[in-house]
Structure 1
Amino acid sequence: MSGKTVAVRDLPQTGFVRQSQLIPTILPFSGPTLWRKVAAGTFPKPVKLSARITAWRVEDVRKYLEDPIGYRVPEAA
């Protein structure tokens, strides 16, 4: 558990993180599991920064990490 705490502390306060920065350092699951969670709405949706770059807002990842079991993607207004 302490390894996860150190990794979360190393996240920037704002900006974007890519999948390679999340797995396995911060998230304890595989890439396919990450994408299953995104599809199920239990992990934040990524942002397409360019044709070949997909990333997650750090703020969204931090919100997920506050309550990984209860996290749900907010409904669009």
Structure 2
Amino acid sequence: MSNIESPITVLRMKQLVQKIGISRSYVYEKMNPESPHYDDTFPVPFKLGKSAVGWFESEVDQWLLQRRA
């Protein structure tokens, strides 16, 4: 039995909105604690560079599956 791990995939904003089907502005609403649309379970982005952020696709997938339940 081989122990093959799936590659780590990082989603940028454009890929994220395509994957989950919401707008860029709604992503920011979900991350803003002051917004009525805030979701504390929404995946947290991490810094890739000085002004670039990304999300782990695996965390986004888990969040989507939780939404379905």
TM-score by length of 1: 0.62
Give the fraction of aligned pairs with identical amino acids, expressed as a percent.
24
Structure 1 runs not aligned, ≥5 long? 1-11, 71-77
**Aligned residues of 1:17 and 1:58 also touching (Cα < 8 A):** yes
Q: CA RMSD in A?
A: 2.0
In structure 2, what is the equivalent of residue 14 of structure 1? 8
In structure 1, what is the equivalent of residue 62 of structure 2? 63
Q: Give the 3-state SS of the residue equivalent to 2:58 in structure 1.
A: helix
**Structure 1 segments (4+ residues) deviating >6 Å:** none
Amino acid across the alignment from 1:54? V
Question: In 2, Cα distance between the equivalents of 1:37 and 1:13?
Answer: 27
Q: 1:46 to 1:28 in 2, by over 3 A?
A: same
Question: In 1, Cα distance between the equivalents of 2:19 and 2:46?
Answer: 19
Question: Is 1:33 the counterpart of 2:32 in the alignment?
Answer: no
Structure (1 or 2) with the larger CA radius of gyration:
2
Amino acid across the alignment from 1:27? I
Structure 2 runs not aligned, ≥5 long? 1-5, 33-37
Amino acid across the alignment from 1:34? V
What is the aligned residue count?
58
